[in-house]
């Protein structure tokens, strides 16, 4: 199958009457197109022979132009793949992002090559008009079966009628909350929780009911009391690699939380983006209390954020259809192409290979963090760690000091559900492009905490 390459309209920028060699005019036209946004990072350039033919110049001239563009850092090439507009690395951009939780680059797997191969296969074997049409609903039987297979290692067997394919975890969370809660309803959360949840609660006019926690998660006695007194619409929990504090709820505590939900008749919303990073993940709350739990599992933290695919397991088939109706009202549907990619990867084993590559890199990066920041908390598989700050230290001030040194960090206040909460920093390990860059960034954090952020009493 042949596919069209990105437009070569930027070639019209080549000035032939400027008194300079044509190869330099071509390189400068390329630079101007990138600067003006006509060409974007990752865009593939036309083959050199095609450019030579369009401009009426010899092949060597275009080779010299592409070479000049490469010397200026504008493009990069790969044998057998072509020439692409180059993406700036973190250090070139002057900022190392330790704030956004991303899966690290997988070891031993080329995500770009895998994506190119998979999309080509999908387009070769699928009617494009059918693929790119509207596909509102819970997902096809094949998509729902793939989701069930992906979740099986820690959720257990899930029937297709209970599973909904969603365009990302935030859409799934929106659909669940609009199904379960009305304005003014309460939602039990930890003192520090996922910012997307707090933003959504504000939008839906829900009350956040903060439950005391320890290192294992919700304190059972406090949770039971709040469920009895507040009659909340649901309990929201990230039990594995808790966001942001990075600890994982143990099996005994999971059973206690599941029992409280069942005894009180309260729904559980289990947001679990991280379990598949574990070789042997603990059983999900959805496995312990399937009749009370809505389980959400995105692929954004284990494979790639760009897939925009999440799987939602509802307690029953009818509830799955109610969530589907809410999803249709808010997001209509996910991207058919990226959903097709995700499903194909799960079905042909590519998702497991990619996941294993992410796991290897995640462990290596977590080991780096343990070496440089030994006080940081987080499982060996975690893609973020938590740093408690000494009493009286202003996390916001530390955040500002880090920004002045080219580091993007996120402090506790970004996760706060109430006024009383632990003080600290979440440090994400997957964003930097390489382990070397991560090591340098973590070393800067260690130096900052040791020397540059003296205690400051908050009054």
3-state SS, one letter per residue, for 318-381: HHHHHHHHHHHHHCCCCCHHHHHHHHHHHHHCHHHHHHHHHHHHHHHHHHHHHHHCCCCECCCC
Which residues belong to CATH 3.90.1150.10 in the chain? Answer: 93-108+352-452
Q: Which residue has the higher pLDDT, 156 or 18?
A: 156
User: What value does the mean pLDDT take over residues 225-230?
Assistant: 97
| Alpha-carbon dihedral 121, 123, 124, 129, rounded to 10 degrees | 150
Q: Kindly report, as residue ranges, where domains of CATH 1.10.10.10 are found in the chain.
A: 9-87
Asked if pLDDT for residue 457 goes beyond 50, the answer is no
pLDDT at 87: 74
Q: The domain 113-350 is classified under which CATH number: 3.40.30.10, 3.40.50.300, 3.40.640.10, 3.50.50.60? A: 3.40.640.10
Interval 162-180 mean pLDDT: 96
Which of the following CATH numbers is that of domain 9-87: 1.10.10.10, 3.40.50.720, 2.40.33.10, 2.40.50.100?
1.10.10.10
Lowest mean pLDDT among 42-51, 76-85, 196-205: 76-85
124/368 Cα distance (integer angstroms): 43
Q: What is the pLDDT of residues 140-152, one digit of tens each?
A: 999 999 999 999 9
Which pLDDT score, from 0 to 100, does residue 281 have? 95
Structure tokens at 292: 């009370």
Compare 300 and 452 and report the one with higher pLDDT. 300
> How large a percentage of the chain has pLDDT more than 90?
63
In the chain, CATH 3.40.640.10 sits at 113-350
Q: What is the percent of the chain where pLDDT is above 70?
A: 93
For residue range 344-358, list pLDDT tens digits in order: 999 999 999 999 999
Domain 93-108+352-452 matching CATH 3.40.50.620: the answer reads: no
């Amino acid at each position: 199958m042949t596919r069209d390459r990105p437009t070569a309209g930027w070639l019209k920028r080549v000035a032939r009457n400027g008194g300079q060699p044509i190869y330099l005019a071509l390189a400068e036209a390329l630079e101007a197109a990138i600067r003006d946004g006509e060409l974007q990072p990752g865009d593939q350039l036309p083959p050199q022979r095609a450019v030579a033919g369009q401009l009426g110049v010899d092949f060597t001239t275009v080779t010299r132009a592409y070479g000049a563009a490469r010397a200026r850092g504008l493009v990069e090439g790969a044998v057998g793949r072509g020439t692409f507009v180059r993406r700036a690395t973190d250090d070139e951009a002057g900022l190392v992002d330790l704030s956004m939780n991303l899966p690290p680059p997988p070891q031993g797997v080329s995500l770009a090559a895998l994506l190119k191969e998979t999309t080509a296969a999908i387009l070769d074997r699928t009617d494009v008009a059918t693929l790119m049409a509207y596909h509102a609903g819970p997902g096809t039987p094949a998509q729902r079966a793939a989701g069930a297979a992906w979740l099986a290692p820690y959720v257990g067997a899930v029937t297709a009628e209970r599973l909904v394919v969603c365009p990302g975890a935030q859409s799934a969370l929106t659909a669940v909350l609009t199904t379960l809660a009305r304005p003014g309803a309460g939602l039990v959360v930890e003192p520090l929780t996922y910012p997307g949840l707090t933003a959504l609660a504000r939008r839906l006019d829900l009350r956040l009911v903060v439950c005391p926690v320890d290192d294992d998660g919700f304190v059972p006695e406090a949770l039971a009391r709040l469920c009895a007194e507040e009659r909340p619409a649901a309990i929201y929990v990230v039990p594995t690699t808790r966001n942001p504090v990075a600890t994982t709820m143990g099996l005994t505590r999971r059973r206690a939380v599941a029992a409280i939900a069942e005894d009180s008749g309260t729904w559980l919303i289990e947001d679990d983006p991280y379990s598949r990073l574990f070789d042997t993940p603990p059983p999900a709350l959805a496995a312990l209390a399937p009749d009370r739990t809505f389980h959400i599992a995105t692929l954004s933290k284990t494979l790639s954020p760009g897939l925009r695919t999440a799987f939602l397991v509802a307690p029953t088939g009818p509830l799955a259809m109610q969530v589907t109706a809410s999803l249709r009202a808010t997001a209509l549907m996910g991207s058919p192409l990226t959903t097709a990619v995700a499903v194909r990867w799960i079905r042909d084993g590519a998702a497991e290979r990619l996941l294993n590559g992410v796991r290897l890199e995640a462990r290596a990066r977590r080991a780096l963090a343990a070496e440089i920041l030994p006080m940081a908390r987080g499982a060996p598989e975690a893609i973020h760690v938590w740093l408690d700050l000494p009493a009286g230290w202003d996390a916001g001030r530390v955040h500002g000091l880090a920004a002045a040194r080219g580091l993007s960090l996120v402090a506790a206040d970004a996760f706060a559900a109430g006024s009383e909460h632990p003080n600290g920093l979440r440090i994400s390990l997957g964003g930097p492009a390489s382990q070397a860059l991560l090591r340098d960034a973590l070393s800067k954090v260690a130096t900052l905490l040791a020397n540059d952020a003296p205690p400051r009493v908050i009054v």
